[in-house]
Amino acid sequence: MRIPFVTVDVFTDRPFGGNPLAVILDARGLSDAQMQAIAREFNYSEQTFVLPPENPAHTARVRIFNPTAEMPFAGHPNVGTAYVLARAGTVLGQPVGDALVFEEGAGAVRAEVLRDGANVVGARIATPQPLDLGPEVPVAPLAACVGLPPDAFSAVAHPPRVASVGLTQVFAELPDLATLVAARPDPSAFAAAEAALPLGGAALLLHIWTRTGSGTVRARMFGPTIGVPEDPATGSAAGALGALLAARGEGTDLVIEQGIEMGRPSRIEVAVRGAAVTIAGPCVPVMEGVLTL
Protein backbone atom coordinates (compact mmCIF):
# COMPACT_ATOMS: atom_id res chain seq x y z
CA MET A 1 0.00 0.00 0.00
CA ARG A 2 1.25 3.46 -0.94
CA ILE A 3 -0.61 6.10 1.05
CA PRO A 4 -0.21 9.85 0.38
CA PHE A 5 0.13 12.25 3.28
CA VAL A 6 0.58 15.98 3.83
CA THR A 7 2.03 17.74 6.86
CA VAL A 8 1.20 21.28 7.90
CA ASP A 9 2.08 23.55 10.79
CA VAL A 10 -1.10 24.81 12.46
CA PHE A 11 -1.75 28.09 14.30
CA THR A 12 1.23 29.78 12.65
CA ASP A 13 1.96 31.77 9.51
CA ARG A 14 5.48 30.41 9.04
CA PRO A 15 7.05 26.96 8.71
CA PHE A 16 8.45 25.28 11.82
CA GLY A 17 6.19 27.22 14.15
CA GLY A 18 2.82 26.19 15.54
CA ASN A 19 1.77 22.58 15.97
CA PRO A 20 2.73 20.07 13.26
CA LEU A 21 0.03 17.79 11.88
CA ALA A 22 0.14 14.87 9.46
CA VAL A 23 -2.99 14.23 7.39
CA ILE A 24 -3.56 10.87 5.71
CA LEU A 25 -5.67 11.93 2.74
CA ASP A 26 -7.28 8.53 2.12
CA ALA A 27 -7.33 6.10 5.05
CA ARG A 28 -9.58 3.52 3.39
CA GLY A 29 -8.15 0.05 3.93
CA LEU A 30 -6.18 0.95 7.04
CA SER A 31 -6.90 -0.97 10.24
CA ASP A 32 -7.08 0.67 13.65
CA ALA A 33 -3.73 -0.88 14.51
CA GLN A 34 -2.14 0.49 11.35
CA MET A 35 -3.49 3.99 12.08
CA GLN A 36 -2.04 3.85 15.57
CA ALA A 37 1.30 2.61 14.25
CA ILE A 38 1.42 5.44 11.71
CA ALA A 39 0.66 7.97 14.44
CA ARG A 40 3.56 6.57 16.48
CA GLU A 41 5.79 6.77 13.42
CA PHE A 42 5.10 10.48 12.89
CA ASN A 43 5.14 11.05 16.69
CA TYR A 44 3.29 14.35 16.43
CA SER A 45 0.86 15.30 19.18
CA GLU A 46 -1.95 14.27 16.81
CA GLN A 47 -2.52 12.93 13.32
CA THR A 48 -5.67 12.65 11.22
CA PHE A 49 -7.02 9.95 8.93
CA VAL A 50 -9.65 10.94 6.35
CA LEU A 51 -12.43 8.46 5.55
CA PRO A 52 -15.79 8.57 3.72
CA PRO A 53 -18.58 10.06 5.87
CA GLU A 54 -21.48 8.00 7.14
CA ASN A 55 -23.81 10.91 6.25
CA PRO A 56 -23.33 11.82 2.58
CA ALA A 57 -24.21 15.44 3.40
CA HIS A 58 -20.99 15.68 5.42
CA THR A 59 -17.47 16.16 4.08
CA ALA A 60 -15.61 13.27 5.70
CA ARG A 61 -15.18 11.09 8.72
CA VAL A 62 -11.99 12.19 10.46
CA ARG A 63 -10.23 9.99 12.98
CA ILE A 64 -7.64 11.57 15.27
CA PHE A 65 -4.80 9.64 16.90
CA ASN A 66 -2.13 10.77 19.33
CA PRO A 67 0.99 8.58 19.76
CA THR A 68 -0.82 6.18 22.12
CA ALA A 69 -4.59 6.29 21.44
CA GLU A 70 -7.48 7.59 19.36
CA MET A 71 -9.08 10.88 20.46
CA PRO A 72 -12.74 11.96 20.17
CA PHE A 73 -11.84 15.55 19.25
CA ALA A 74 -8.89 17.93 19.11
CA GLY A 75 -8.52 21.47 17.84
CA HIS A 76 -5.40 21.74 15.73
CA PRO A 77 -6.11 18.48 13.80
CA ASN A 78 -9.45 19.86 12.65
CA VAL A 79 -8.08 23.27 11.68
CA GLY A 80 -5.18 21.64 9.82
CA THR A 81 -7.29 19.00 8.09
CA ALA A 82 -9.79 21.59 6.86
CA TYR A 83 -6.88 23.65 5.51
CA VAL A 84 -5.30 20.66 3.75
CA LEU A 85 -8.55 19.51 2.12
CA ALA A 86 -9.46 23.05 1.02
CA ARG A 87 -6.05 23.47 -0.61
CA ALA A 88 -6.45 20.12 -2.36
CA GLY A 89 -9.93 21.09 -3.57
CA THR A 90 -11.21 17.52 -3.25
CA VAL A 91 -11.64 14.83 -0.63
CA LEU A 92 -11.90 11.18 -1.68
CA GLY A 93 -12.85 12.28 -5.18
CA GLN A 94 -15.51 14.79 -4.10
CA PRO A 95 -15.16 18.60 -4.42
CA VAL A 96 -14.56 20.63 -1.27
CA GLY A 97 -16.04 24.08 -0.69
CA ASP A 98 -15.36 26.63 2.04
CA ALA A 99 -17.73 24.96 4.54
CA LEU A 100 -16.87 21.47 5.75
CA VAL A 101 -18.37 19.04 8.27
CA PHE A 102 -16.27 16.31 9.87
CA GLU A 103 -17.75 13.32 11.68
CA GLU A 104 -15.81 12.57 14.86
CA GLY A 105 -16.16 10.73 18.14
CA ALA A 106 -17.29 13.86 20.02
CA GLY A 107 -19.83 14.80 17.32
CA ALA A 108 -19.96 16.81 14.11
CA VAL A 109 -17.23 19.44 13.73
CA ARG A 110 -18.03 22.31 11.38
CA ALA A 111 -15.16 24.11 9.69
CA GLU A 112 -14.93 27.33 7.68
CA VAL A 113 -12.02 27.91 5.32
CA LEU A 114 -10.13 31.19 5.78
CA ARG A 115 -8.83 32.84 2.62
CA ASP A 116 -6.66 35.77 1.61
CA GLY A 117 -8.16 36.48 -1.77
CA ALA A 118 -8.07 33.15 -3.60
CA ASN A 119 -5.43 31.66 -1.30
CA VAL A 120 -6.39 29.29 1.52
CA VAL A 121 -4.58 30.53 4.64
CA GLY A 122 -6.24 28.73 7.54
CA ALA A 123 -9.52 27.58 9.03
CA ARG A 124 -12.04 28.25 11.77
CA ILE A 125 -13.81 25.37 13.50
CA ALA A 126 -16.78 25.18 15.85
CA THR A 127 -16.34 22.87 18.81
CA PRO A 128 -18.63 19.82 18.71
CA GLN A 129 -19.90 20.45 22.25
CA PRO A 130 -20.62 23.48 24.44
CA LEU A 131 -18.59 24.11 27.58
CA ASP A 132 -18.90 21.28 30.10
CA LEU A 133 -17.52 22.20 33.51
CA GLY A 134 -16.28 19.29 35.58
CA PRO A 135 -15.16 19.19 39.20
CA GLU A 136 -12.55 21.36 40.84
CA VAL A 137 -9.27 19.54 41.49
CA PRO A 138 -6.72 19.98 44.29
CA VAL A 139 -3.66 22.10 43.64
CA ALA A 140 -1.03 19.87 45.27
CA PRO A 141 -0.93 17.05 42.66
CA LEU A 142 -0.98 19.57 39.81
CA ALA A 143 1.89 21.49 41.38
CA ALA A 144 3.88 18.27 41.59
CA CYS A 145 3.18 17.59 37.93
CA VAL A 146 4.85 20.82 36.80
CA GLY A 147 7.51 21.21 39.51
CA LEU A 148 5.99 24.28 41.16
CA PRO A 149 5.05 24.90 44.80
CA PRO A 150 1.29 24.81 45.49
CA ASP A 151 1.28 28.48 46.50
CA ALA A 152 2.51 29.40 43.01
CA PHE A 153 -0.99 28.79 41.62
CA SER A 154 -3.62 31.50 41.28
CA ALA A 155 -7.41 31.36 41.49
CA VAL A 156 -8.30 34.87 40.33
CA ALA A 157 -10.33 33.66 37.34
CA HIS A 158 -11.04 30.11 38.51
CA PRO A 159 -9.65 27.41 40.80
CA PRO A 160 -8.05 24.44 39.03
CA ARG A 161 -10.80 22.37 37.45
CA VAL A 162 -11.83 19.97 34.74
CA ALA A 163 -13.48 21.42 31.63
CA SER A 164 -14.23 20.32 28.08
CA VAL A 165 -15.68 21.35 24.73
CA GLY A 166 -15.18 17.84 23.39
CA LEU A 167 -11.97 16.72 25.10
CA THR A 168 -11.53 16.51 28.89
CA GLN A 169 -8.66 18.62 30.24
CA VAL A 170 -7.58 20.23 33.51
CA PHE A 171 -7.10 24.01 33.63
CA ALA A 172 -5.00 25.86 36.18
CA GLU A 173 -4.27 29.58 36.34
CA LEU A 174 -0.81 30.89 37.23
CA PRO A 175 -0.13 34.40 38.56
CA ASP A 176 2.49 35.58 36.08
CA LEU A 177 4.61 34.75 33.06
CA ALA A 178 7.73 33.93 35.07
CA THR A 179 5.86 31.17 36.91
CA LEU A 180 4.50 29.76 33.65
CA VAL A 181 7.97 29.67 32.10
CA ALA A 182 9.40 27.96 35.21
CA ALA A 183 7.08 24.95 34.92
CA ARG A 184 8.85 21.63 34.32
CA PRO A 185 6.70 18.53 33.74
CA ASP A 186 7.37 15.41 35.82
CA PRO A 187 6.03 12.31 34.00
CA SER A 188 5.92 10.18 37.16
CA ALA A 189 3.88 12.83 38.96
CA PHE A 190 1.48 12.95 36.00
CA ALA A 191 0.92 9.21 36.20
CA ALA A 192 0.17 9.41 39.93
CA ALA A 193 -2.13 12.42 39.55
CA GLU A 194 -3.97 10.82 36.63
CA ALA A 195 -4.86 7.86 38.84
CA ALA A 196 -5.95 10.05 41.75
CA LEU A 197 -7.87 12.94 40.18
CA PRO A 198 -11.58 12.88 39.21
CA LEU A 199 -11.05 12.62 35.45
CA GLY A 200 -13.65 9.97 34.66
CA GLY A 201 -11.05 7.69 33.15
CA ALA A 202 -9.57 10.37 30.88
CA ALA A 203 -5.85 11.06 30.57
CA LEU A 204 -4.47 14.00 32.51
CA LEU A 205 -3.99 16.81 30.01
CA LEU A 206 -2.88 19.80 32.07
CA HIS A 207 -3.33 23.28 30.61
CA ILE A 208 -1.67 26.06 32.61
CA TRP A 209 -2.12 29.70 31.66
CA THR A 210 -1.55 33.28 32.72
CA ARG A 211 -2.79 36.67 31.56
CA THR A 212 -0.55 38.77 29.33
CA GLY A 213 -2.97 41.59 28.50
CA SER A 214 -6.58 42.45 27.87
CA GLY A 215 -8.07 39.48 26.04
CA THR A 216 -4.72 37.71 25.72
CA VAL A 217 -3.12 34.86 27.64
CA ARG A 218 -0.07 32.67 27.36
CA ALA A 219 -0.43 28.95 27.93
CA ARG A 220 1.36 25.62 28.08
CA MET A 221 -0.16 22.12 27.89
CA PHE A 222 1.39 18.88 29.09
CA GLY A 223 0.18 15.32 28.40
CA PRO A 224 3.10 12.94 29.02
CA THR A 225 0.87 9.92 29.71
CA ILE A 226 -0.39 10.05 26.09
CA GLY A 227 3.10 10.54 24.65
CA VAL A 228 2.91 14.36 24.44
CA PRO A 229 5.44 15.82 26.91
CA GLU A 230 4.40 19.32 25.83
CA ASP A 231 2.04 20.51 23.11
CA PRO A 232 2.89 23.57 20.97
CA ALA A 233 -0.76 24.55 20.45
CA THR A 234 -3.91 22.99 21.93
CA GLY A 235 -7.03 24.20 20.16
CA SER A 236 -9.47 22.15 22.24
CA ALA A 237 -8.02 23.63 25.44
CA ALA A 238 -8.09 27.12 23.95
CA GLY A 239 -11.80 26.74 23.21
CA ALA A 240 -12.60 25.46 26.68
CA LEU A 241 -10.58 28.20 28.38
CA GLY A 242 -12.22 30.89 26.26
CA ALA A 243 -15.67 29.54 27.12
CA LEU A 244 -14.76 29.24 30.81
CA LEU A 245 -13.61 32.86 30.99
CA ALA A 246 -16.59 34.07 28.95
CA ALA A 247 -18.94 32.30 31.37
CA ARG A 248 -17.38 34.39 34.12
CA GLY A 249 -18.05 37.60 32.21
CA GLU A 250 -14.43 38.15 31.17
CA GLY A 251 -15.01 38.76 27.45
CA THR A 252 -16.05 36.68 24.49
CA ASP A 253 -12.88 36.92 22.39
CA LEU A 254 -9.53 35.53 23.46
CA VAL A 255 -6.09 35.20 21.87
CA ILE A 256 -3.89 32.44 23.27
CA GLU A 257 -0.16 32.23 22.66
CA GLN A 258 1.44 28.83 23.21
CA GLY A 259 4.54 26.86 22.26
CA ILE A 260 6.92 29.75 22.87
CA GLU A 261 8.96 27.81 25.44
CA MET A 262 9.33 25.02 22.85
CA GLY A 263 10.53 27.30 20.07
CA ARG A 264 7.26 26.74 18.16
CA PRO A 265 5.24 29.92 18.74
CA SER A 266 1.52 29.53 18.12
CA ARG A 267 -1.43 31.91 18.08
CA ILE A 268 -4.98 30.64 18.61
CA GLU A 269 -8.05 32.87 18.22
CA VAL A 270 -11.14 31.92 20.24
CA ALA A 271 -14.62 33.44 19.95
CA VAL A 272 -17.54 32.59 22.24
CA ARG A 273 -21.07 33.48 21.16
CA GLY A 274 -23.52 32.08 23.68
CA ALA A 275 -22.96 28.33 23.82
CA ALA A 276 -21.09 28.33 20.48
CA VAL A 277 -17.28 28.28 20.61
CA THR A 278 -15.01 28.71 17.59
CA ILE A 279 -11.25 28.22 17.26
CA ALA A 280 -9.29 29.74 14.36
CA GLY A 281 -5.78 30.19 13.06
CA PRO A 282 -3.53 30.14 10.02
CA CYS A 283 -1.64 27.13 8.65
CA VAL A 284 1.36 26.59 6.39
CA PRO A 285 2.25 23.51 4.31
CA VAL A 286 5.51 21.77 5.17
CA MET A 287 5.82 18.29 3.60
CA GLU A 288 4.14 15.93 1.15
CA GLY A 289 4.99 12.28 0.70
CA VAL A 290 3.91 8.67 0.48
CA LEU A 291 3.79 6.07 3.22
CA THR A 292 4.65 2.53 2.14
CA LEU A 293 3.04 -0.31 4.08
The residue extents of the domains of the chain are 2-127+280-292, 132-274
Percent of the chain with pLDDT over 70: 100
How far is the C-alpha of 72 from the C-alpha of 229, rounded, in Å? 20
At residue 242, the 3 state secondary structure works out as helix
Q: Sort 260 into a burial class: Cβ within 10 Å, 0-12 / 13-18 / 19+.
A: middle
Average pLDDT over residues 270-283: 97
pLDDT tens digits for 249-274? 988 999 999 999 999 999 999 999 99
Confidence band for 9, pLDDT divided at 50, 70 and 90: very high
CATH number for region 132-274 = 3.10.310.10
pLDDT at 192: 96
How far is the C-alpha of 146 from the C-alpha of 88, rounded, in Å? 41
pLDDT at 147: 97
pLDDT tens digits for 65-116? 999 999 999 999 999 999 999 999 999 999 999 999 999 999 999 999 999 9
pLDDT tens digits for 20-76? 999 999 999 999 999 999 999 999 999 999 999 999 999 999 999 999 999 999 999
Average pLDDT over residues 240-255: 94
- Catalytic residue set: 46
The answer to whether 2-127+280-292 and 132-274 have equal CATH topology is: yes
Give the residue from 286, 239, 207 showing the smallest Cα distance to 42: 286
How big is the CA angle at 63 (ends 57 and 64), to the nearest 5 degrees? 135
Q: Does domain 2-127+280-292 have CATH number 3.90.930.12?
A: no
pLDDT at 207: 98
Give the residue from 280, 204, 206, 205 showing the smallest Cα distance to 242: 280
Residues forming beta bridges with residue 6, ordered by sequence position: 23, 288
pLDDT at 283: 98
Average pLDDT over residues 199-226: 96
Percent of the chain with pLDDT over 90: 98
Give the residue from 43, 32, 104 showing the smallest Cα distance to 73: 104
Residues forming beta bridges with residue 210, ordered by sequence position: 218
pLDDT at 114: 98
